Amino acid sequence: MKKIGIIGGTGYTGGELARILCAHPDIEIAAMTSRQSAGKKVSDTQTNLKGYIDIKYTESLAGVDLDLIFVATPHGVAMKEAPSLLDSGIKVIDMSGDYRLHDASVYKKWYGHDHTDPKYLKDSVYGMPELFRKEIKKAKIVANPGCYATATILATAPLLMAKAVKNDFIVDAKSGTSGAGMVPSPRIHHPFCGESIIPYSVGNHRHQPEMESVLDIVSKAGPKILFSPHLLPIVRGILSACYMTAINDITNEDIAKIYEKQYKDEPFVHFVEEPSIRAVVCSNHCQVNAKIFDEKIVAFGTIDNLVKGASGQAVQCANLMLGSKETAGLNTPGMGV
């Protein structure tokens, strides 16, 4: 049984990690940190975990023998915590954006401050098993992908890798309010967002350079994305609609073959006729589809932003890093309704 720790155990991603891992066949949650809730039982603050987790939050993970640590905190924390952990031989999965962009100057441009760990920044592996499985298995530190980035990359990578589309395209994406995190803000106050769809951070969302850099790694296409995220009045789920232009004559049958070739052996990515948020909510599954209209292709990707877009994908990576079956603890379907 592998022992793991969670830094930042009271947020949505930390709580979702605990929900998934408390029933994992090969992993034991040995410690969870929270400065505000230190000394309290985890199940007293996250009552859905009563009967499943019987440990208390601590202020730190010092002195705990661990195989892997998830850092489930806002950006800026992991780069301070990870180096000493990695130096001591503990594997790390960063749930924030600290290790997603390998270029420190690009990181500073989008996050507004210097990156303090250039040593491990260059060694980090992007945690999307469908594209980087071999690298994840050998990794010491994994950068867990962003939620919008996951839905968009899985939807568009097959077409870019097949050289079927031009490299500039539009991503119109919509996310549930849990993607904004647990700390309340005016934007996610129910009277403001409850019966509305709200565009935000258009052109300057931090997942945009992440999408472009990862898609360039796998396709060498130099993608240029106009990213328009929107807030939906639902709790969980993301739908990315990606508007692309075909390079040559291509049919819907050709498109289906491209996705089948890319994802036929993937346990969590499915090419379906009509991707649905409800079909994937509370699961690690992703549904994708693409259709051509004249020379325009619309590609769709949908996920649960807290699972495949965050904690579920992190567990999928941890399984690979720790030698477990990749689907361990994750092999459940979406809600459906």
Q: Tens digits of per-residue pLDDT, 35-68?
A: 889 999 999 999 999 999 999 999 999 889 999 9
Assigned domain for 272 exists: yes
Residue 167 has pLDDT above 90, yes or no: yes
Q: Are strands 198-199 and 125-126 parallel, antiparallel or unpaired?
A: unpaired
User: Is the same domain home to 163 and 135?
Assistant: no
User: Is the same domain home to 301 and 154?
Assistant: yes
| Active-site entry in 22, 147, 286, 317 | 147
Residue 22 has pLDDT above 80, yes or no: yes
**Can you give the CATH number for the domain in which 136 is found?**
3.40.50.720
Assigned domain for 31 exists: yes
Check residue 317 and give its pLDDT. Answer: 98
* Residue 302 bridge partners (DSSP): 239, 287
- For residues 187 and 231, what is the distance between their CA atoms, to the nearest angstrom? 9
User: Could you report the per-residue pLDDT of 119-158, keeping only the tens digit for each?
Assistant: 999 999 999 999 999 999 999 999 999 999 999 999 999 9
AA identity, residue 94:
D
Assigned domain for 151 exists: yes
Spell out the residues 6+ positions from residue 103 whose beta carbon is closer than 8 angstroms to its own.
Answer: 213
* Number of domains making up the chain: 2
The mean pLDDT of 277-294, rounded to a whole number, is 97
Spell out the residues 6+ positions from residue 72 whose beta carbon is closer than 8 angstroms to its own.
Answer: 6, 7, 8, 9, 11, 13, 14, 17, 95, 96, 311
Q: Is 145 helix (H, G, I), strand (E, B) or coil?
A: coil
User: Is the same domain home to 66 and 160?
Assistant: no
Assigned domain for 328 exists: no
Confidence grade of residue 231 (pLDDT, cut at 50, 70, 90): very high
Q: Which two tokens stand for residue 258?
A: 């491209």
* Cα–Cα distance list, 34 to 17, 58, 60, 65, 218 (Å): 14, 6, 8, 18, 37
Residue 297 has pLDDT above 90, yes or no: yes
Q: Which two tokens stand for residue 288?
A: 């994708």
Assigned domain for 327 exists: no
User: Is the same domain home to 284 and 155?
Assistant: yes
As separate numbers, helices (DSSP H) first and strands (DSSP E) second, the chain gives 12, 14
Q: Which two tokens stand for residue 2?
A: 């592998």
- For residues 192 and 101, what is the distance between their CA atoms, to the nearest angstrom? 33
DSSP string, 281-322: TTSS-EEEEEEEETTEEEEEEEE-TTIIIIIHHHHHHHHHHH
Check residue 187 and give its pLDDT. Answer: 76
Reading across the β-sheet that carries 2-7, which strands appear in turn? 57-58, 27-33, 2-7, 68-71, 91-94, 141-143, 125-126
User: Is the same domain home to 283 and 312?
Assistant: no
* Beta strands in the chain, from DSSP E residues, in sequence order: 2-7, 27-33, 57-58, 68-71, 91-94, 125-126, 141-143, 168-175, 198-199, 224-231, 238-245, 269-271, 286-293, 296-303
User: Is the same domain home to 242 and 94?
Assistant: no
**Can you give the CATH number for the domain in which 215 is found?**
3.30.360.10
Check residue 191 and give its pLDDT. Answer: 80
User: Could you report the per-residue pLDDT of 73-122, keeping only the tens digit for each?
Assistant: 999 999 999 999 999 999 999 999 999 999 999 999 999 999 999 999 99
Residue 189 has pLDDT above 80, yes or no: no
* Cβ(101)–Cβ(145) below 8 Å: no
147 is catalytic: yes
User: Is the same domain home to 199 and 213?
Assistant: yes
* Cβ(182)–Cβ(235) below 8 Å: no
- For residues 74 and 95, what is the distance between their CA atoms, to the nearest angstrom? 8
Assigned domain for 335 exists: no
Check residue 186 and give its pLDDT. Answer: 77
Residue 134 main-chain phi, psi, to 5 deg: -60, -40
- For residues 232 and 199, what is the distance between their CA atoms, to the nearest angstrom? 9
State the average pLDDT for the chain: 95
Structural domain harbouring 65: 2-144+308-322
User: Is the same domain home to 201 and 128?
Assistant: no
